[in-house]
Amino acid sequence: MAKHDIDPNYLDPNYEPVVNHSENLPFHQVLSARMQRRAVMKGTVGAALASVMGLGLVACGGDSDSDEDTTSGNTQTPGTTERTLGFQAIPVSTANEVVVPSGYSAEAFLPWGTPITGSYPDYRPDGTNTGADQEQQVGMHHDGMHFFPLDQKSGGSSSEEGLLVMNHEYINQSAIHPNGATVNTDGSRPADEVRKEIAAHGVSVVHIKRDSNGVWDVVQSAYNRRVTGGTAMDIRGPLRGYEKLVTPYSLDATATRGTLNNCSMGPTPWGTYLTAEENWHGYFAFDTDVAERPREYARHGVGGSSRYDWEKADSGLDQYRRFDVTPTVDGSATTDYRNEANTFGYMVEIDPFSPESKPQKRTALGRFGHEGVIFAPAKEGEPVVCYSGDDSRFEYIYKFVSSKPYYAATAGGYLLDEGTLYVARFNEDGSGEWLALDLDNPAFASKVNAAKGTTVGDVAFDGFENQADVLLNTRLAADIAGATPMDRPEWGAVDPNTGEVYFTLTNNTKRTEDQVNASNPVAQNKNGHIIRWQEAGNDYTADSFDWDIFVFAGEQGTETVVDGDAVVTLNDDNIFNSPDGLWFDYNGRLWIQTDGYSDETFGNQMMLAANPETREIKRFFVGPQGCEVTGVVTTPDSKTMFVNIQHPRGNWPNAAEDRPRDACVIVTRNDGGVIGA
Ligand code: FEO
Ligand code: CA
Ligand code: CA
Ligand code: CA
């Protein structure tokens, strides 16, 4: 797409191109889906709502008597009393400030540009910090985040001191430079602007400590670190050494530079941080007049010009030229960067407790638009299991199961290098299956064989060279496996009480009436919904599951109807659209963050808390104008909450400055109590 559509003031969250043209759900299946679905959305107000429901949807709302109701299947609820929502819900807000319930306080923390390492260069409010400064300061567009207690490695759970690790998804070019992005008369860009933009991406590791007055501050510490779009990284797992990842930088395809568009994340059971590469495709230029795109680019949206023109940096340095991935006429993979974009699209492991460690791209988890990752609770002697959504319209939800068992004493990133990647198929009757994307799996191998010589989506499919090729083309493999195209899977979360896995499906206005299915039952789904499932036998390694829809987002009166009963009816206390961030706190409350449209009905983007058992939902937090609310974690005692504000507008959080700064917000209860209780 044209870059002017993306930045500097691009706030539409729906900027992922639709690149899945496979048709995994024939129309005859759709009809039966409508007859067997258990959870449906209903609404009592609004013509717009009526138009997205469609008559067929309403007519069969209660027609599901024969289905087992798994929604009341939470047979044990040890944390039930801890999940109650004790605060007063707040109304929607359009103010350019953070709003929290009565009895709570909110304070901005670690805004973009905060010095955290090196010579701790001061933030300059006029935008004149250099690229080198930015490499030592907090990046832009804060997203996923986790708090690691400083004593975690020794078994502690400090709520006073820790490493706050956060992603920086992308940038606001008009805010980052004194006068926006500069283009030289010859079309090139000043190299230091490019350096600064690359440095504002990636991840920040910040050692923070709470003083005796309860105020959090940055500790000048050897742990503090910036990982950027230029940091040296290793390729690990099945794609390490694969010829399609060979670049002039790494002739043996074992390394690359940088992580980009880091959206959500997942803390691992062994105390490291996995950061996701989401809309990485947009950073690369590929001139389709010069060459035809390989499938590993076309299916992922790489093509055309790049978002920020980094490849045009006027220094001509290799570290910038690499963002042009067009094959040169006389060159090869060892002389040009035709393969550079194959080194992106992964989950990247960072050990915050080892500041010198090289980040590791864990390719066994697949290559796609990773929103984030969520680990199931690790069990001694059993495989490690994690889930990751591909946030584009009509893309999929994946599960990774390690080959090797987890042992707390020896666990590490190696567990993520060997295993099986599965993709989810949500059946119309409320069951689901995990489909292995593994050439050694007979069912997958036979589908691959059957697809050879056909067109899959837009791809003329001639097979996979090997398992590395399958993972490089994860989306294509999932198409062939018969996965269910979803309404933009964003964050996942695992209920600590029941083991149920929740995923936000943020929205998908491109889904037509002909494309609805039971798990994505709303055409022109502009408000999104939250789906959940329970693995068969409560075993995270199972190859089947039962699913239902937790809630449909929307305006007042939107009902989530299960077997004829409205289990949720949204009202002034909890209307929301476009659920994105999702997190279970340590007491089992579910936190829902939004990244959608702001209008008179919904106001600014927000965060709500939910009791997963009762489906009570209350608005807890509203962000400033123009932002999305994304990234949430608390200290282990649940008394300090960190919430990120991304792409605010105007001059939030500092009214004395004239440009916006993405920032974390610290939320505390004035009486020092547990957040949400
Ligand atoms: Fe970066 Fe899908 O949100
Ligand atoms: Ca975002
Ligand atoms: Ca997101
Ligand atoms: Ca989003």
* Nearest-5° Cα angle at 158, 153 to 160: 135
- What pLDDT score was predicted for residue 129? 98
- What pLDDT score was predicted for residue 23? 62
Q: Which two tokens stand for residue 94?
A: 């359009």
Ligand 4 centre from 103 Cα, in Å?
30
Ligand 4 centre from 16 Cα, in Å?
10
User: Which atom of ligand 1 approaches the CA of 169 most closely?
Assistant: 1
Question: Is any ligand 1 atom within 6 A of the Cβ of residue 490?
Answer: yes
Ligand 4 centre from 13 Cα, in Å?
5
In a domain, 361, yes or no: no
* 347 closest CA partner among 420, 401, 412, 267: 267
- What DSSP line would sit under 489-508, residue for residue? EEEEEE-TTT--EEEEE--B
In a domain, 35, yes or no: yes
User: Which atom of ligand 1 approaches the CA of 13 most closely?
Assistant: 3
Strand residues in 24-134 grouped as ranges (E): 39-42, 104-109
- What DSSP line would sit under 385-445, residue for residue? EEEEEB-SEEE-EEEEEEEEEP-TTT--GGGGSSEEEEEEEE-TTSEEEEEE--TTSHHHH
Ligand nearest to the CA of 506: 4
Strands 459-460 and 161-168: unpaired
User: Which atom of ligand 1 approaches the CA of 261 most closely?
Assistant: 1
Cis ω before 8 (30° cut-off from 0): yes
Question: Is any ligand 1 atom within 6 A of the Cβ of residue 277?
Answer: no
- What pLDDT score was predicted for residue 38? 56
Q: How far is residue 589's CA from residue 675's CA, in Å, rounded to a whole number?
A: 10
536: domain range? 27-62+84-98+114-353+369-669
In a domain, 360, yes or no: no
Ligand nearest to the CA of 627: 2
Q: Measured between alpha carbons, how far apart are the two ends of the chain, in Å?
A: 45
Q: How far is residue 659's CA from residue 652's CA, in Å, rounded to a whole number?
A: 8
Asked whether the beta carbons of 20 and 481 are under 8 A apart, the reply is no
Question: Is any ligand 1 atom within 6 A of the Cβ of residue 263?
Answer: yes
- What pLDDT score was predicted for residue 18? 73
Question: Is any ligand 1 atom within 6 A of the Cβ of residue 487?
Answer: no
Q: Which two tokens stand for residue 447?
A: 């589908």
DSSP letter (8 states) at residue 313: B
In a domain, 74, yes or no: no
Rounded (10°) angle between helices 442-451 and 474-481:
100
Question: Is any ligand 1 atom within 6 A of the Cβ of residue 278?
Answer: yes
User: Which atom of ligand 1 approaches the CA of 369 most closely?
Assistant: 2
Using a 10 angstrom Cβ sphere, with 0-12 exposed, 13-18 middle and 19 or more buried, the burial of residue 572 is exposed
In a domain, 439, yes or no: yes
In a domain, 103, yes or no: no
Q: Which residue do the tokens 């009436």 mark? A: 513
Contacts of 80 (CB under 8 A, 6+ apart): 497, 588, 613
Question: Looking at the DSSP assignment, which residues form a beta bridge with residue 388?
Answer: 398
Strands 360-362 and 232-236: parallel
In a domain, 358, yes or no: no
User: Which atom of ligand 1 approaches the CA of 630 most closely?
Assistant: 3
Ligand 2 centre from 628 Cα, in Å?
7
In a domain, 71, yes or no: no
Q: How far is residue 423's CA from residue 505's CA, in Å, rounded to a whole number?
A: 16
* 391 closest CA partner among 301, 284, 495: 301
Question: Is any ligand 1 atom within 6 A of the Cβ of residue 169?
Answer: yes
Ligand 2 centre from 332 Cα, in Å?
35
- What pLDDT score was predicted for residue 562? 86
Asked whether the beta carbons of 623 and 644 are under 8 A apart, the reply is no
Question: Is any ligand 1 atom within 6 A of the Cβ of residue 371?
Answer: yes
Question: Is any ligand 1 atom within 6 A of the Cβ of residue 391?
Answer: yes
Ligand 3 centre from 262 Cα, in Å?
9
- What pLDDT score was predicted for residue 564? 85
User: Which atom of ligand 1 approaches the CA of 628 most closely?
Assistant: 3
User: Which atom of ligand 1 approaches the CA of 490 most closely?
Assistant: 2
* Nearest-5° Cα angle at 332, 326 to 335: 90
Q: At 55, phi and psi to the nearest 5?
A: -65, -40
3-state secondary structure of 245: helix
Helices H, strands E: what count in the chain?
11, 35
Asked whether the beta carbons of 423 and 398 are under 8 A apart, the reply is yes
* Nearest-5° Cα angle at 648, 579 to 175: 135
- What pLDDT score was predicted for residue 19? 78
Question: Is any ligand 1 atom within 6 A of the Cβ of residue 546?
Answer: no
3-state secondary structure of 108: strand
User: Which atom of ligand 1 approaches the CA of 278 most closely?
Assistant: 1
**Mean pLDDT in each 10-residue stretch from start to end of the chain (677 residues)?**
38 55 49 44 44 28 33 38 92 98 98 98 98 99 98 96 98 97 98 98 98 96 98 99 98 98 98 98 97 97 97 98 97 98 99 98 98 98 98 98 98 98 97 98 98 95 98 98 98 97 98 96 97 97 97 96 91 98 98 98 98 97 98 98 97 96 98 97
Ligand 2 centre from 394 Cα, in Å?
18
Ligand 1 centre from 169 Cα, in Å?
8
Ligand 1 atom 1: the closest Cα is on which residue?
A: 263
In the chain, the number of structural domains is 1
Ligand 1 centre from 645 Cα, in Å?
13
Helix (H) or strand (E) holding 175: helix 173-176
Question: Is any ligand 1 atom within 6 A of the Cβ of residue 395?
Answer: no
Ligand 1 centre from 395 Cα, in Å?
13
3-state secondary structure of 153: helix
- What pLDDT score was predicted for residue 366? 98
Ligand 2 centre from 577 Cα, in Å?
15
